[in-house]
Every structure is written in structure tokens, then in C-alpha cells.
């Protein structure tokens, strides 16, 4: 069965520091999809990125970057020059191909606190 | 485009009652999924509907059920409420299989 582990439950940084959120996944499928979501205090999950298992290219979007490594089953997320508005809970998620469809398996989440 | 909407936003019920939650997906999205979020269990998948058919189901008891209408709007129902059903219930819509899902603001259910 699929599993997502976010070992860091809570991280606290000072504004402008870089921070990396770790995500390790387990799946037997060769086709799968990885996601990151942000949940601010308001509670709504905000989509950040989707990656499929055949695309190991790293991605950068502004201050955000993602490192996907199949060899270590990891999909880590880095925020460069963190800001107070980045404070939120971040979730990594996995969906498998085949009949699993849109069923997301989430990690436990990492609470990021950015202090001014 | 309007986002995913959920009603009501807050609900208080007592044990043994039943509750119905509603979700309107993003226009054009035919897949609607439901998730339960609790401090203890985290985010857990309940079920997914596509074109009025349940496509996937998570590991929840039969008290949890859902349906989808021809306009893609979805409802979920929880019967015989238990204290442990207190949670944030999130609905998500997607344009297709394996695509990113967009979440609504959630319905916070409290069972007393």
C-alpha cells in the first residue's frame, strides 16, 4: 500500500532563511503522481505542484523549488528567503496510477513557522 | 472561475443524528473527492465521484455515504453520528483523473 512520510512535524525559521521540507513516499506502482499542498490558518488546502513519476526534472517557481529523486523516493520542497506569509502547514501527497484515480494519500504535514 | 464551494461552513450536531454536507465543484470539473481531516488521523480519503458514479472509496464505515448529481455537485452524508466524526470535511474537484485537485474551504463538523 502507498504511504507518505513527512518526518518534520514542525519547523521554525527566521524570515529570509531558506528552509527544506522533506517528503518520502512508498508505492509499488511505476506510474504515480506527487503533489504538494499548503494549508494556511484559514484551513483551505492550496495546490502548489504536481509531478508524475516519469518526470524527474526539478522545478522552480519563484521562491519555491522542488527536488524529485526516484532513487531515494523523495520529493522535497525548498522555500528560499522565507517570508512570514509562508507560515502554514505543508502536505505532501501521492496518488497511484491505475484504478486509484484521484485518491490522494497524504503525509502527516509539516507546520512551518516563519518569524519576523 | 469560481472555486470549490462547500456548505455549510460550520455544523454542530449531537450523537446519533445524521448530517448532509454539500460541495459545488469548479465549473467543468466532473470529479469530486471528499476527505476527512482530524488532528489524530490527519487527512484521509473518503470517496471520489465521477459522472455520478463512485469511482473510489476509502476505508470508512458504511455510515459515510455520498452521491453526485448530473451537474457534478456532490453531497456526503454521515448517519448515526459519533463523537469521533468531529472533523474538517474537505471537498476537492478535478478536471480529470490524476490531475491536481482543488479544495474547498471545508465544513467543520462538531459532534456533541
Contact (CB<8Å) B33/A44: no
Interface residue B45 vs chain A (CB under 8 A):
yes
pLDDT of residue B11: 97
pLDDT of residue B52: 94
Condensed to tens digits (0 to 9), the pLDDT of residues B75-107 reads: 999 999 999 999 999 999 999 888 899 999 999
Give which of B86, B68, B67, B77 is closest to B14, Cα–Cα.
B86
Alpha-carbon gap, residue B47 to B56, rounded angstroms: 5
Alpha-carbon gap, residue A75 to A66, rounded angstroms: 7
**pLDDT over 70 for what percent of chain B?**
99
Tell me if residue A90 falls in helix, strand or coil.
strand
**B34, B35, B44, B45, best to mutate vs chain A, most A CBs in 10 Å:** B45
pLDDT exceeds 80 at position A48: yes
Q: Give the E-state strand segments of A1-116 in sequence order.
A: 3-5, 10-14, 19-21, 24-26, 32-39, 46-52, 59-61, 64-69, 74-79, 88-96, 105-106, 110-115
- Please return the burial class of B86, using the count of CB atoms within 10 Å of its CB with bins 0-12, 13-18 and 19+: middle
Average pLDDT rounded to a whole number, residues A10-20? 98
Of B88, B100, B106, the CB nearest to A50: B100
Q: How confident is the model at residue B63 (pLDDT cuts 50, 70, 90)?
A: very high
Query: How far separated are the first and last CA of chain B, in Å rounded?
Result: 37
pLDDT exceeds 90 at position B29: yes
Interface residue B30 vs chain A (CB under 8 A):
no
A94 contacts A23 by C-beta, under 8 angstroms: no
- Alpha-carbon distance values, A9 to A21, A55, B28, B52, B110 (Å): 10, 28, 36, 38, 25
**Which chain A residues contact residue B56 at CB under 8 A?**
99-103
To the nearest whole angstrom, how far is the Cα of B111 from the nearest Cα of chain A? 19
- DSSP secondary structure string, B35-93? EEEETTTEEEEEEEEETTEEEEE-S--TTEEEEE-TTS-EEEEE-S--GGG-EEEEEEE
Q: How confident is the model at residue A1 (pLDDT cuts 50, 70, 90)?
A: confident
Alpha-carbon gap, residue A11 to A27, rounded angstroms: 27
Amino acid at each position: 500500500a502507498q504511504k507518505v512520510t513527512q518526518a518534520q512535524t514542525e519547523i521554525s525559521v527566521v524570515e529570509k532563511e531558506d528552509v527544506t521540507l522533506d517528503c518520502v513516499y512508498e508505492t509499488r506502482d511505476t506510474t504515480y503522481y506527487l503533489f504538494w499542498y499548503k494549508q494556511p490558518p484559514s484551513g483551505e488546502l492550496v495546490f502548489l505542484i504536481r509531478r508524475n513519476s516519469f518526470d524527474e526534472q526539478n522545478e522552480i517557481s519563484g521562491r519555491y523549488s522542488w527536488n524529485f529523486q526516484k532513487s531515494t523516493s523523495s520529493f522535497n520542497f525548498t522555500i528560499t528567503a522565507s517570508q512570514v506569509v509562508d507560515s502554514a502547514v505543508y502536505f505532501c501527497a501521492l496518488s497511484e496510477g491505475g484504478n486509484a484515480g484521484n485518491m490522494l494519500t497524504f503525509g502527516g504535514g509539516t507546520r512551518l513557522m516563519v518569524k519576523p | 472561475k469560481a472555486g470549490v464551494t462547500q456548505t455549510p461552513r460550520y455544523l454542530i450536531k449531537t450523537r446519533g443524528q445524521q448530517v448532509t454536507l454539500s460541495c459545488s465543484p469548479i465549473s467543468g470539473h466532473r470529479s469530486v473527492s471528499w476527505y476527512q481531516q482530524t488532528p489524530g488521523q490527519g487527512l484521509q480519503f473518503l470517496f471520489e465521484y465521477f459522472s455520478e458514479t463512485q469511482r473510489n472509496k476509502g476505508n470508512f464505515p458504511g455510515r459515510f455515504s455520498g452521491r453526485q448529481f448530473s451537474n457534478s455537485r456532490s453531497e456526503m452524508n454521515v448517519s448515526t453520528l459519533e463523537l469521533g466524526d468531529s472533523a474538517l470535511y474537505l471537498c476537492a474537484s478535478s478536471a480529470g483523473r490524476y490531475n491536481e485537485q482543488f479544495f474547498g474551504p471545508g465544513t467543520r463538523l462538531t459532534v456533541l
